[in-house]
Amino acid sequence: MSIKVRYFASLKESIGRSEDTLSFTPLLTVSDVWKLANPTIALSENILVAVNMDYVNYDFIVSDDDIVAFFPPVTGG
Amino acid sequence: MSIKVRYFASLKESIGRSEDTLSFTPLLTVSDVWKLANPTIALSENILVAVNMDYVNYDFIVSDDDIVAFFPPVTGG
Amino acid sequence: MTLKIITQAFDPYQEIQRYQHAHPENLGHIGATNIFIGTMRDFNENVAVKGMTLEHYPGMTEKQLDNIVVEAHAQWQLIDTLIIHRVGTILPNEPIVLVAIWSSHRGDAFDACRYIMEALKSKAPFWKKEHLSNNDERWVTHNSTGYKTP
Amino acid sequence: MTLKIITQAFDPYQEIQRYQHAHPENLGHIGATNIFIGTMRDFNENVAVKGMTLEHYPGMTEKQLDNIVVEAHAQWQLIDTLIIHRVGTILPNEPIVLVAIWSSHRGDAFDACRYIMEALKSKAPFWKKEHLSNNDERWVTHNSTGYKTP
């Protein structure tokens, strides 16, 4: 019963971690996941979120075993 | 004191000539040039005209020594 | 800025690489390259085609293409442009036209390449005659617009 | 349809030619090829750049790019698509991304290539960190749209 949280690029550097593992509880949104993992840091509006590698909104409700990824705007190509 | 007339592609084949030379007289339009060169054939609307290698309208007035080219829609590329 | 009208088959990738090597002054500045290659198909309007002959109006072709390239450079920030167009006899799978655009940013490269192709298709005095597999010949009567999928 | 995420420098023209040779079934059908190559510049936002590191999210990158290619094939008549994207350390003048589109008609090739590039730039999880000539580092903060010249 857990959720894996991943961070990339500048966000990974500013948080100082690339990964967290949280206990799963029902009805957690992506915002809740962020608050649990980073209680002292506000979730900046330009941060993108993917659950299981698909983009979602902050109010998306996560399931057990989901991988939630937070990252800055993408800059490939 | 002359005007050279050139024909290209399917128009050249249907007229059966690639070139005419007409005597120049003042105030000839491109339409007039066509009528002088091809008195029995109507100038079909889709035929393009260039004078000295620039596109012009049928009412463009030609000058001595001009090269007037008539051709079908272009199909390069 | 180079423009070539050629009568022999060409390899567009070799031409692009040769051009880039000949222009080391562009190195480091180019962020975006957009390339269009028009190739002869072996089928057109439901008929098998075994070759074509491309006629053109020497002199006017170069003049019109020069104008088009100058217009493109006036509208977009371009570093370099290369246009090659075949004339004469062409076989299926052979490249007919190459337009290569080098710029700092992708918007300019995409827009200019497309602009040049559409302008070339509507203004450059080339005419295609198709040689059909049943030995008939036919002139291609017009180019369609590239802005709507046919 | 091929998609490659690679860590080594690549020659886009060799890759395209190799791909074409590996797909003889496309011969005769292709009338239009549109190719976009994004290359690393040695200057960005007025600062000299000596290299960059491209981070990505393995798995999500492929999933997002796959979606984009499927969307492009649904919207336009395409014969084939090849996408190659670098990750890791990249030096100036090296290609970062290649998108090659093969189709019968030019409208499809141009539209799909541009669509894929814009979608890739806004959705594929890549992040660039620039290594400046003064030895500072900085993350590129966002991609601008390619539909308006910057």
Chains C and D touch (3+ CB pairs under 8 A): yes
Q: Look at residues C76, C82, C70, C148 and name the one whose alpha carbon lies nearest to residue C112.
A: C76
Whether the per-residue pLDDT at C150 is higher than 80: the answer is no
Q: What is the mean pLDDT of residues D109-127?
A: 98
- Sheet containing strand A2-7, edge to edge, reads A19-23, A2-7, A67-71, A48-51, A54-55
The domain D2-20+31-137 having CATH identifier 3.50.50.60: the answer here is no
> Is B72 touching C (CB cutoff 8 A)?
yes
pLDDT digits (tens, 9 = 90+) for C50-87: 999 999 999 999 999 999 999 999 999 999 999 999 99
A2-71 to CATH, choices 1.10.1040.10, 3.10.20.30, 3.40.50.300, 3.40.50.2000: 3.10.20.30
| Structure confidence at residue C149 (pLDDT) | 57
Measure the CA–CA gap between C148 and D108, rounded to whole angstroms: 8
Q: Look at residues C117, C8, C100 and name the one whose alpha carbon lies nearest to residue B77.
A: C117
> Is A40 touching D (CB cutoff 8 A)?
no
Q: Are D81 and D72 in contact (CB under 8 A)?
A: yes
* Tokens coding C139: 């002139």
Measure the CA–CA gap between B63 and B1, rounded to whole angstroms: 9
The alpha-carbon gap from C74 to the nearest alpha carbon of chain B, in Å, equals 20
pLDDT digits (tens, 9 = 90+) for A24-77: 999 999 999 999 999 999 999 999 999 999 999 999 999 999 999 999 999 999
pLDDT digits (tens, 9 = 90+) for C3-41: 999 999 999 999 999 999 999 999 999 999 999 999 999
Query: Is there a contact between D124 and A54 if contact means CB atoms under 8 Å apart?
Result: no
Q: What is the mean pLDDT of residues D99-124?
A: 98
Q: Look at residues C111, C43, C120 and name the one whose alpha carbon lies nearest to residue C76.
A: C111
Query: Is there a contact between B50 and C142 if contact means CB atoms under 8 Å apart?
Result: no
Q: What residue of C is the nearest CA neighbor of D41?
A: C28
Q: Are B18 and B12 in contact (CB under 8 A)?
A: yes
Query: Is there a contact between D59 and A72 if contact means CB atoms under 8 Å apart?
Result: no
| Structure confidence at residue A51 (pLDDT) | 98
Measure the CA–CA gap between A63 and C40, rounded to whole angstroms: 53
Tokens 């567009």 label which residue?
C12
Q: What residue of C is the nearest CA neighbor of D78?
A: C149
Domain boundaries, chain D: 2-20+31-137
Whether the per-residue pLDDT at D150 is higher than 60: the answer is no
Q: Look at residues D78, D89, D99 and name the one whose alpha carbon lies nearest to residue D26.
A: D78
| Structure confidence at residue D102 (pLDDT) | 98
Q: What angle do CA C85, C66, C105 make, to 5 degrees?
A: 85
Quick one: how many helices (H) and strands (E) in chain C?
3, 9
Q: Look at residues A42, A31, A43, A39 and name the one whose alpha carbon lies nearest to residue A68.
A: A31
pLDDT digits (tens, 9 = 90+) for D21-76: 999 999 999 999 999 999 999 998 889 999 999 999 999 999 999 999 999 999 99
| Structure confidence at residue D144 (pLDDT) | 87
- What are the C-alpha distances in Å from D146 to residues B56, C147, D119? 36, 18, 10
Measure the CA–CA gap between C25 and D57, rounded to whole angstroms: 35
Measure the CA–CA gap between C61 and C3, rounded to whole angstroms: 10
Quickly list DSSP for D73-95.
HHHS--SEEEEEEE-EEE-TT-E
At residue C144 the predicted structure's pLDDT band, cuts being 50, 70 and 90, is confident
Measure the CA–CA gap between B28 and D44, rounded to whole angstroms: 58
Chain C CB contacts of D114 under 8 Å are 110
Q: What angle do CA C126, B69, C52 make, to 5 degrees?
A: 25
- What are the C-alpha distances in Å from C145 to residues A46, A62, C101? 40, 48, 20
| Structure confidence at residue C108 (pLDDT) | 98
Whether the per-residue pLDDT at D147 is higher than 90: the answer is no
Query: Is there a contact between B76 and C127 if contact means CB atoms under 8 Å apart?
Result: yes
Residues D26, D28, D30, D36: what is their CA dihedral angle, to the nearest 10 degrees?
Answer: 70
Query: Is there a contact between B50 and C59 if contact means CB atoms under 8 Å apart?
Result: no
Q: Is B63 helix (H, G, I), strand (E, B) or coil?
A: coil
